[in-house]
Amino acid sequence: MTRIELYDATLRDGMGGGGMSLTADEKVRLVRRLDDLGVDIIEAGFPASNPKEAQLFALLEHEELSHATIAAFGMTRRRGAAAADDAGLRVLAGCFAPICTIVGKTSLHHVEKVVRVSREENLAMIAESVAFLAAQGKRVIFDAEHVFDGLREDRDYTIACLRSAASAGAERLVLCDTNGPSLPSHVARAVAGVRAALPGVPIGIHCHDDSGCAVANTLMAVEAGATQVQGTINGIGERTGNANLITIIANLQLKMGHRVVSHEQLRLLTDTAHFTDELLNRQPEPHQPYVGKNAFAHKAGLHAAGIRADATTFEHVDPALVGNHRDLLISELSGKGTVTEKAERAGLELDDATTARVLERMKALEHDGYQFEAADGSFELLLRKESGDYQRLFALESWRVTAEQHADGEVRTEATIKIWVDGERFVSYAEGNGPVHALDAALRAVLTEAHPHLAETWLTNFKVRILDETKGSDASIRVLIDATDGVDTWGSIGVSTNLIAASWVALVDSLEYAEQPSRVRGAAAP
Amino acid sequence: MTRIELYDATLRDGMGGGGMSLTADEKVRLVRRLDDLGVDIIEAGFPASNPKEAQLFALLEHEELSHATIAAFGMTRRRGAAAADDAGLRVLAGCFAPICTIVGKTSLHHVEKVVRVSREENLAMIAESVAFLAAQGKRVIFDAEHVFDGLREDRDYTIACLRSAASAGAERLVLCDTNGPSLPSHVARAVAGVRAALPGVPIGIHCHDDSGCAVANTLMAVEAGATQVQGTINGIGERTGNANLITIIANLQLKMGHRVVSHEQLRLLTDTAHFTDELLNRQPEPHQPYVGKNAFAHKAGLHAAGIRADATTFEHVDPALVGNHRDLLISELSGKGTVTEKAERAGLELDDATTARVLERMKALEHDGYQFEAADGSFELLLRKESGDYQRLFALESWRVTAEQHADGEVRTEATIKIWVDGERFVSYAEGNGPVHALDAALRAVLTEAHPHLAETWLTNFKVRILDETKGSDASIRVLIDATDGVDTWGSIGVSTNLIAASWVALVDSLEYAEQPSRVRGAAAP
């Protein structure tokens, strides 16, 4: 069986969805996770469409990935120019990425009505662009835009477009269902048809979910002989989204017998999906296949009894294979191994009773809306509190924050905190750019003397989201704070119906994590 | 072409998802909408599993539906009893519903391992149950549970189960992918195999989304000869959900040439989907195929230009066919055409100078971190401010928010605002669950008298993120607020280095958008 190649388009096509945006640093963090997962090719974007993309490529050039190859994305040359003179192609040729993916028109309707070039010129644009990049030593992937429409409208012309890309040296022809109009059997027929017309040329598939069939279309393409699948994590993307690479990986490996990643990597599927949502400040979809919180949640009654009798009776796959868990057993089994592993990583040894207490505490906190995936700092503090290896920075008497705006438009924020440190009472006042900054400044004013290392740490990110949108002002609010000391980065979390109270909890965790003895003494944990 | 029958399972199987619950009255309202949409059979539940279900059937008996038939749902008789003595079957026989759908085991593994009856007894349970209900004058539909597993495990026994239901008088055999393990080509082969084994017996299909292929599996079954499709509105249901009947209807009619509903009914698709979410107090999924808010949303630039030139170029179907509409996402790349179109949709006519001012203002705001893709309300206010068609709700003198936590752990938040409305000065004070809630309450306390419609609007979502993490406490913070009046939903945005100040800007936009004269006067914009 030919190995199926995984091509991730989250960083480029995935960002087309409304409200999606990641910093260059966040994109690098995602690239590392995709590499860990075993993705073969990661499309990072066009290397110079704006300063942020340029910065991303500068960062990626120095990343050491264990498996994945970075692809730069661009398009065929402009009409009437030489490929070597095309500004976009020159940027691609000059960037470090070994793979260049270029998109070109393959539907005659688009060529004549939208781009308005002659059919011959479009063929030349494809061939010359591919040939130019190939001559610069790039591996070239050709994304055939609107190819399914093209095959319906004027099959011969579309095949000619694909042939010119292949002849010019493209190593993959990717059939793009650009507007997502196709149904599974259309896709299967189209892929088989292209393979028959261009035998021996590896075919890829790139689907969108406008018909609700993006995953199925991708799988049908693989059955028809496609050997590269393109998609985005959690199916994010413009309109209805792209094909969900998470679901595709699970189906290929668990249902179709393809070995696209290792067993260990497959178990990263749930974490990778949730990590990506956290990075994008999105609510993970509880009903997402394989990795959703409800994907293996079983109601009580006949089903639950059936599960206990024989799990294979009521579960299509073992949730552990994809790093997810059955919801029935969450308190008994799930997490124990993870907790032990996390504790070991923090240099803590937990006995069974402590592990059980941690799990109980986690369960209670998760019920309140806490979630520790993106809050490793808070989770380590939880472990330390239960294991006794925890150093409290202070005891709180009270805090107060006031923000006000006057007629002159200026906004002033101040915080007053009253805390006890080693039996001594401190009252501290600070102004700030906002409530979190003011509270942070007031705390540091007291704490930095005893904890000089704090002066070398700072908050880098702050994210807020409502947990249950239907509850209006009674809804819980989750605040995530990232902080760093320039070497290590850690996340902390606070949940409350009150935005400022949730921020306070996350802020205190963030500072306390920085000052735990084991961290300050030695090197930062990896 | 055989007409495809639409079978809705929202009221029964759809209620299996976590947190789903409808009163009997609400279920009746949904039944009326499903009838309007042209659904053929509506499964209402088991007529006496609890008082609420009994009440539902009592109400439904007196409903005059124009097209749909109500089905009652139950299961085959218990082992070792006569069908006529089975309490469940007697309830079904005695209820008014002309159709009874009964579920039975068709996988030998389940028969022997879960139900633990002999293979002969299971065949008798199926045949006698169907025959009993048919003899009572019911139309009987047989739901074949775990049938795809059964066909893989012991094909002959599964076919025997199906045959015994058909021979006893079942008018439809519904192949249920109970745990959702199947992929499209599995389903197509299974349906074709059953049809070959039992020629002439109408086949139905009932899929779950555990592999992310429920819609595709349903369509493949239809291509293989199934003539009844079962699903739920918006795909609600246990675990990953059922097949989404909304998507299935659109695909059958617009992509596969089946006429399952009239053109007028097809245009109800978006409304029906949103109505159902509203009834269930669920946020509609913006990326849902065909009916989602983003399903036909296009980013500006090449695509938006293409859309204006020729909509068929970039849209897989005309959104009006399913009662949805095209949306242009406003982003940095947007040009004049997008602004003009947005203005037209808001009922505003902009001259060239105004459009130029809007673009300039947008550019300046986007430079500060504003982003209007998810803030259509704020964008419309921007258009109104520049075009002069803007009604200000008040002039600000000052606001102040105080949040404090004392040693008892309780957090108190209060807001005081001083504003001018029509030359009169108001000072308003309110407590709240958090700063935004307190400010919102203080504003509404003054404004609702002159703007009673405000009392029917509320905030539904609140999201915060930092725009440039490298700037620490000087970084800009972006706040997005969603609000609704139960019909229309709008987003607003505020950006500031101060969290509370950014929230204030988004909050004021949210309230002002709700009260612009054109919105309050007439119906909400589509």
Distance CA A103, CA A74 (A): 7
| pLDDT at residue A330 greater than cutoff 60 | no
Please give the residue of chain B at the shortest CA–CA distance from A210.
B289
B342 or B383, greater pLDDT: B383
- Which is higher by pLDDT, B180 or B130? B130
A411, closest residue in chain B (CA to CA): B501
Q: Are B295 and A482 in contact (CB < 8 Å)?
A: no
> Helices A24-37 and A269-279, interaxial angle, to 10°?
170
CB-nearest partner of A179 from B314, B459, B461 = B314
Check pLDDT > 70 for residue B112. yes
**Cα→Cα distances B220→B194, B217, B363, Å:** 14, 5, 48
pLDDT tens profile A51-72: 778 889 999 999 999 999 999 9
Contact B313 A109 (CB under 8 A): yes
Q: Which residues contact B304 (CB under 8 A, 6 or more apart)?
A: B298, B328, B334, B335, B337, B338
**To probe the interface with B, which of A287, A412, A443, A481 has the most B CB atoms within 10 Å?**
A287
Q: Which amino acid is at A226?
A: A
Residues B118-124: contacts with CB within 8 Å, 24+ apart? B119/B157, B121/B79, B121/B80, B122/B161, B123/B160, B123/B161, B123/B164
Q: Which tokens hold the place of B400?
A: 């102040």
pLDDT beyond 70 at A107: yes
Interface contact A500-B413, CB threshold 8 A: yes
Span of A5-9, A256-260, A521-525 with lowest mean pLDDT: A521-525
Between β-strands A139-145 and A69-75, what pairing exists: parallel, antiparallel or unpaired?
unpaired
DSSP notation for A34-92: HHHHT-SEEEEE-TTSSHHHHHHHHHHHT---SS-EEEEEEEPPPTTS-GGG-HHHHHH
Angstrom distance (rounded) from CA A40 to CA A20: 23
Task: Specify the pLDDT at position A521.
Answer: 46
**Chain A environment of B298 (Cβ under 8 Å):** 238-239
Query: Coil, strand, or helix at residue B259?
Result: coil
A·B CB contacts under 8 A: 303
Average pLDDT, chain B: 89
Residues across chain B:
526
| Residue A16 pLDDT exceeds 90 | no
Say whether residue B212 is in contact with chain A using an 8 A CB cutoff: yes
Which chain A residues are Cβ-neighbours of B297 within 8 angstroms?
A: 18, 238-239
10 Å Cβ neighbour count for B453? 12
Question: Residue A19 is nearest to which of B374, B400, B411, comparing CB atoms?
Answer: B374
Comparing B487 with B393, which gets the higher pLDDT?
B393
Are A37 and A268 within 8 A, CB to CB? yes
Q: Which H/E stretch holds residue B442?
A: helix B435-447
Residue B441 to residue B416: CA distance in whole angstroms: 10
B509 within 8 A of B329, measured Cβ to Cβ: no
Quote the pLDDT of residue A300.
37
| Whether pLDDT at A291 is above 50 | yes
Asked if residue A217 lies in contact with residue A182, where contact means CB atoms within 8 angstroms, the answer is yes
B411: chain A residues, CB-CB within 8 Å: 496, 498, 500-501
Q: Is pLDDT at B307 greater than 70 in this prediction?
A: no
User: Which residues of chain B neighbour A460 with C-beta distances below 8 Å?
Assistant: 469-470, 472
Contact A220 B464 (CB under 8 A): no
Q: Are B526 and B319 in contact (CB under 8 A)?
A: no
Direct distance between the N- and C-terminal alpha carbons of chain B, in angstroms, rounded to an integer? 36
Q: What pLDDT score was predicted for residue A502?
A: 95
Closest Cα in chain B to A317: B181
Which of A73-82, A482-491, B164-173, B447-456 is predicted with the least confidence, judged by mean pLDDT?
A482-491
Residues of chain A in contact with residue B402, where contact means CB-CB under 8 angstroms, are 400-402
Q: Which of B141, B129, B13, B134 has its CA nearest to residue B69?
A: B141
Q: Which of residues 394-433 of A touch B (CB under 8 A)?
A: 396-407, 411, 413, 432-433
On the question of pLDDT at B526 being above 50, the answer is: no
Alpha helices, DSSP H, located in A154-289? 155-167, 184-197, 214-223, 245-254, 263-266, 269-279
Q: How confident is the model at residue A524 (pLDDT cuts 50, 70, 90)?
A: very low
Chain B (497-516) residues lying within 8 Å, Cβ to Cβ, of chain A = 497-501, 504
Residue B523 is predicted with a pLDDT of 38
Mean of pLDDT values over B425-438: 95
Other CB atoms closer than 10 Å to residue B50's CB: what's the count? 10
Judging contacts by C-beta atoms under 8 Å, the chain A residues touching residue B282 are: 470
Cβ of B405 within 8 Å of Cβ of A399? The answer is yes
Average model confidence (pLDDT) across chain A: 89
Cβ contact B399–A402 (<8 Å): no
Instruction: List the beta bridge partners of residue B232.
Output: B244
Residue B30 has pLDDT above 80, yes or no: yes
Q: Which residues of A touch B464 (CB under 8 A)?
A: 462-465
* Dihedral, CA of residue A208, residue A212, residue A215 and residue A218, to nearest 10: -60
Q: Is B377 on the interface with A (CB under 8 A)?
A: no
Q: Rounded to a whole number, what is the distance in Å from the CA of B125 to chain A's nearest CA?
A: 18
Which of A113-127, B239-253, B326-340, B452-466 bottoms out in mean pLDDT, i.e. has the lowest?
Answer: B326-340
- CA-CA-CA-CA torsion sign (B215, B219, B224, B226): positive
Q: B299 and chain A: CB distance < 8 Å anywhere?
A: yes
- CB contacts of A220 in chain B (<8 Å) are 184-185
The two three-digit tokens of residue B355, written as one number: 């459009």
Supply the pLDDT for residue A84. Answer: 95
Q: What stretches of A79-169 show up as alpha helix (H) in DSSP?
A: 87-94, 108-109, 119-135, 147-153, 155-167
Closest-CA distance, B355 to chain A, in angstroms, reads 23
Our CA-based measurement puts residue A315 at a distance from the nearest CA of chain B, in whole angstroms, of: 6
Cβ–Cβ gap A114/B309 under 8 Å: yes
**A433: nearest CA in chain B?**
B498
Per-residue pLDDT of B12-21, as tens digits, reads: 999 876 656 6
Note the pLDDT of residue B113: 84
- Per CB-CB distance under 8 Å, the chain A contacts of B366 are none
For residue B473, list chain A residues with Cβ-Cβ distance below 8 A. Answer: 432-434, 437, 440, 459
Out of B219, B374, B402, whose CB is closest to A400? Answer: B402
Residues A466, A478: Cα–Cα separation, whole Å: 6
Chain A residue nearest residue B236, CA to CA:
A287
For residue B321, give how far its alpha carbon lies from the nearest alpha carbon of chain A (Å).
14
CA angle centred on B327, ends B322 and B331, rounded to 5°: 160
A59 contact B CB<8A: no
Across the interface, of B290, B434, B504, the residue whose CB is closest to A477 is B434
The beta-carbon neighbor of A413 closest among B180, B281, B498 is B498
DSSP type of residue B110: I
> Given B216, B371, B462, which is nearest A184 (Cβ)?
B216
CB contact under 8 Å between A470 and B282, yes or no, is: yes
Which chain A residues are within 8 Å of B110, Cβ to Cβ?
313
Q: Compute the distance between CA of residue B85 and CA of residue B89 in angstroms, rounded to an integer.
A: 8
Comparing CA positions, the residue from A434, A415, A493, A306 lying closest to residue B477 is A434
Q: Which residue has the tokens 């029958």?
A: B5
- Tokens 């849902």, residue? B288
Check CB contact of B468 with chain A, cutoff 8 Å.
yes
Highest mean pLDDT: which of A466-480, B401-415, B470-484? B401-415
Quickly state the pLDDT bin for B468 (edges 50, 70, 90).
low
**Nearest residue in B to A306, CA atom:** B114
Cβ contact, residue pair A210, B247, below 8 Å: no
- Chain A CA closest to residue B318: A181
pLDDT confidence of residue A370: 85
Residues facing residue A489 across a β-bridge = A484
Q: Is the pLDDT of residue A347 over 80?
A: yes
Among A181, A295, A496, the residue with its CB nearest the CB of B239 is A295
- B180 with A400: Cβ contact below 8 A: no
On the question of pLDDT at B308 being above 80, the answer is: no
Chain B partners of A317 at a C-beta cutoff of 8 Å? 181
Q: Do A247 and B212 touch (CB under 8 A)?
A: yes
Name residues 166-185 of chain B within 8 A of A (Cβ).
179-181, 183-185
- Shortest CA distance from B314: residue in chain A: A179
For residue B325, the SS3 value is coil
CATH entry 3.20.20.70 includes domain A5-261? yes
Which residues belong to CATH 3.20.20.70 in chain A?
Answer: 5-261
Please report residues of A whose CB lies closer than 8 A to that of B109: 313
B212: closest chain A residue by CA = A289
Could you give the percent of chain B with pLDDT greater than 90? 65
Beta bridge partners of A413: A403, A432
Q: What is the pTM of this model?
A: 0.77
